[in-house]
């Protein structure tokens, strides 16, 4: 720790965003980075505490050596900080942008003060590494002769491919979309994660020897069993892609869409002008049902398209502004905060778009079979005799909200079943692929699973950790031992 009193001398300073009324007119990234001196001050705030919970299971699933590279930032040793970061994180340019930073929720300084800006520091290190030319393809010196097929090119699949390729195996990644990247390419809007950054990393992987086969849907274009015949190991990293529906009266009306059916074509349109499936909310009244990151992305995208209004329904009550007994440190605090889409809606319309404790009862249609509004009722939450929270409708709180377009951002229920059925892979009680913890093995010989397909919908950082873990186990399966971290 180069600055023992840094956390006393410097206050937390996050990276700034472009003003909401400006950034909401385009799909470019909206972050304004700090200067190098300001970033060094933020690195100095790391306390070098006795037990760094930021890199524990409560904090970083990848076990990033956070205090070490924070100290190196303060010392001005940016290249050393990058080397230390790359020991544990395969894709820090992604996690430094889209991770909700559970590490900051577990920061010891955060118990009494604002936590260290760990996520911002990580992003800055990686951006500097690219700017200085420290990141580039590293050719594999020796091949093992073993082959691995990976189904799905999201963060778990990419992390596994990167590690297995470095171990010398010949890796082929199968992706049904026209571009690799999965969630990183099409599930996260461009203003949060510029696709040029994803393409830059993919190009490095290609030059290192990873083969990507796009527009190739395993289970349809390619029999899943053929992968088991042609490759020495198969990893299923298809993600959790079955969206949760809202089966209330009127669900069949036109104008009601799952969130990704809106977000994916929008990104395709930005990248190459593709019109297929594109949904335009210009001059429309939009309602987004679901209060997570995906719901926020629907808000931000609708505003950029020029919607007339946007409202966001959340079934749960409004979160507290500070930690309470339900989320003790070092657990991740689920607090009330305004994300970029909420800020933009406030700037454009003058009001926060979120409605908490509200239940959708019915979608109402017009004479043409298109949605024209949503009927709702307010709900309250209280504990029952067993200590569980239960929802109760509040009489007399029925409302009607006009809507030309409704987006359902209610989460996901597990991987699609076609590949699993063909291979005979079992699922668990939550419909995820049943694979042993820490070994990632399914009940089918030489078939492994990782990421959201195995553990359920989760964070990009957890998917990367799963991909790395699966790669290690596959390497051991193929070679009898492994040196992968």
Structure tokens at 300: 């931000």
pLDDT value for 275: 84
What mean pLDDT is predicted for residues 386-392? 91
User: Residue 385: its pLDDT value, please?
Assistant: 87
Q: In what order do the strands lie in the sheet with 170-174?
A: 211-213, 170-174, 147-151, 233-236, 447-449
Closest to 339 in 3D by CA, of 101, 60, 125: 101
pLDDT tens, residue by residue, 139-192: 999 999 999 999 999 999 999 999 999 999 999 999 999 999 999 999 999 999
As a whole number of angstroms, the distance between CA 119 and CA 100 comes to: 8
Write out the residue limits of the CATH 1.10.1060.10 domain(s) in the chain: 6-132
Phi (first) and psi of residue 237, to 5 degrees: -130, 55
User: How many CB atoms lie under 10 A from the CB of residue 279?
Assistant: 19
Q: What is the pLDDT of residue 40?
A: 97
Domain 6-132 has CATH 2.60.120.380: no
pLDDT category, 326, cuts 50, 70, 90?
confident
Distance of CA 17 to the CA centre of its chain: 20
Strands 389-393 and 371-383: antiparallel
- The Cα–Cα gap between 173 and 157 comes to 8
Query: By the 8 A CB rule, do 30 and 340 touch?
Result: yes
Q: What is the pTM of this model?
A: 0.96
459-481 average pLDDT score:
98
Structure token pair of residue 434: 């049943």
Q: What is the pLDDT of residues 38-86, one digit of tens each?
A: 999 999 999 878 899 999 989 999 999 999 999 999 999 999 999 999 9
Q: Sorting pLDDT into bands at 50, 70 and 90, what band is 1?
A: low
Are 483 and 167 in contact by the 8 Å Cβ rule? The answer is yes
pLDDT, residue 76, reads 96
Alpha-carbon 451 to chain mean position: 11
- What local confidence, expressed as pLDDT, does residue 50 receive? 87
Q: What are residue 235's phi and psi, to 5 degrees?
A: -115, 125
Report whether pLDDT(121) > 80: yes
Q: CA-CA distance, 439 to 429, in Å (whole number)?
A: 19
Strand partners, 408: 258, 289
Residue 2 pLDDT more than 80? no
Write the CA distances from 79 to 123, 128, 360, integer angstroms.
13, 8, 52
13, 229, 235, 383, 441 from 444: Cα distances, Å: 50, 13, 11, 43, 8
3-state secondary structure (DSSP) of residue 184: helix
| CA–CA gap between residue 436 and residue 443 (Å, rounded) | 9
Nearest-angstrom CA–CA distance, 183 and 311: 25
What would the pLDDT profile of 174-187 be if each residue is shown by its tens digit? 999 999 999 999 99
| Full DSSP string of 210-255 | -EEE-S--BTTTB-HHHHHHH-SEEEE------BPP---TTTTSBT
Cα distance between residue 471 and residue 157, in whole Å: 9
Give the separation between CA 75 and CA 129, rounded to whole angstroms: 16
DSSP letters for 391-455? EEE-TT--EEEE-SEEEE---B----SHHHHHHT--B-TTSSB---TTT-B-SSTTEEE-THHHH
Contacts of 15 (CB under 8 A, 6+ apart): 31, 32, 33, 34, 117, 120, 123
CATH 3.50.50.60: which residues of the chain?
147-241+413-479, 256-408
Helix (H) or strand (E) holding 380: strand 371-383
463, 467, 468, 472: CA torsion to nearest 10:
150
CATH class of 256-408: alpha beta
Torsion of CA 119, 120, 123, 127, to 10 degrees: -170
- Report CA dihedral (72, 74, 76, 79) to the nearest 10 degrees: 30
Q: Flag whether pLDDT at 228 surpasses 80.
A: yes
Q: Which pLDDT does position 193 carry in this prediction?
A: 98
Closest C-alpha among 179, 196, 192 to residue 304? 192
- Please state, in angstroms and rounded to a whole number, the distance separating the CA atoms of residues 380 and 55: 37
Share of the chain above pLDDT 70, in %: 100
Query: Which CATH number among 3.50.50.60, 3.40.50.2300, 3.90.1170.50, 3.40.140.10 corresponds to the domain 147-241+413-479?
Result: 3.50.50.60
- What is the arithmetic mean of pLDDT over 368-380? 98
Per-residue confidence (pLDDT) for residue 160, from 0 to 100:
98
Q: Quick check: helix, strand or coil at residue 265?
A: helix
3-class SS shares of the chain: helix, strand, coil, % to 5:
35, 15, 45
């Amino acid at each position: 720790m180069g600055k023992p009193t840094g956390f006393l001398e410097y206050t937390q300073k996050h990276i700034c965003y472009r003003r909401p009324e400006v950034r909401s007119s385009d799909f470019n990234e909206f972050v304004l980075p700090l200067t190098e001196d300001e970033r060094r001050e933020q690195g100095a705030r790391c306390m070098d505490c006795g037990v760094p919970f930021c890199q524990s299971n409560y904090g970083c699933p990848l076990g990033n050596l956070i205090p070490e590279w924070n100290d190196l930032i303060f010392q001005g040793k940016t290249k050393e900080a990058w080397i230390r970061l790359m020991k544990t994180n395969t894709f820090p340019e992604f996690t430094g942008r889209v991770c909700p930073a559970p590490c900051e929720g577990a920061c010891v300084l955060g118990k009494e003060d604002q936590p260290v800006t760990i996520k911002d520091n990580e992003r800055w290190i990686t951006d500097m590494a690219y700017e200085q030319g420290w990141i580039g393809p590293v050719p594999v010196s020796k091949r093992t002769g073993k082959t691995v097929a990976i189904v799905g090119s999201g963060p778990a699949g990419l992390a596994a491919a990167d590690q297995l390729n470095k171990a010398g195996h010949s890796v082929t990644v199968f992706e049904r979309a026209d571009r690799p990247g999965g969630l990183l390419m099409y599930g996260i809007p461009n203003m949060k994660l510029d696709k040029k950054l994803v393409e830059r990393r993919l190009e490095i992987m290609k030059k290192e020897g990873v083969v990507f086969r796009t527009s190739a849907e395993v289970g349809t274009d390619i029999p899943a069993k053929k992968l088991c015949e042609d490759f020495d190991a198969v990893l299923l990293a298809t993600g959790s892609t079955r969206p949760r529906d809202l089966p209330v009266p009127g669900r069949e009306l036109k104008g009601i869409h799952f969130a990704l059916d809106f977000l994916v074509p929008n990104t395709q349109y930005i990248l190459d002008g593709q019109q297929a499936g594109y949904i335009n909310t210009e001059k429309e009244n939009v309602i987004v049902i679901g209060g997570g990151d995906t719901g926020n992305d629907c808000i931000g995208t609708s505003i950029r398209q020029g919607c007339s209004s946007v409202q966001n329904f959340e079934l749960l009550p409004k979160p507290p502004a500070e930690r309470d007994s339900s989320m003790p440190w070092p657990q991740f605090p689920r607090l009330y905060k305004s994300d970029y889409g909420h800020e933009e809606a406030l700037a454009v319309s003058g009001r926060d778009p979120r409605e908490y404790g509200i239940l959708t009862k019915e979608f109402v249609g017009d004479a043409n079979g298109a949605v024209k509004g949503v009927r709702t009722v307010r709900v309250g939450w209280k504990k029952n005799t067993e200590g569980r929270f239960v929802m109760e409708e509040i009489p007399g709180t029925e409302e009607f909200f006009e809507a030309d377009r409704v987006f359902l951002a209610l989460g996901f229920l597990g991987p699609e079943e076609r590949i699993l059925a063909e291979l005979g892979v079992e699922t668990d009680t939550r419909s995820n692929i049943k694979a042993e913890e820490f070994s990632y093995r399914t009940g089918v010989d030489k078939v492994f699973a990782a990421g959201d397909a195995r553990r359920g919908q989760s964070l990009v950082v957890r998917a990367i950790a799963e991909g790395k873990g699966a790669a290690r186990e596959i390497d051991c399966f193929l070679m009898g031992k492994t040196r992968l971290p």
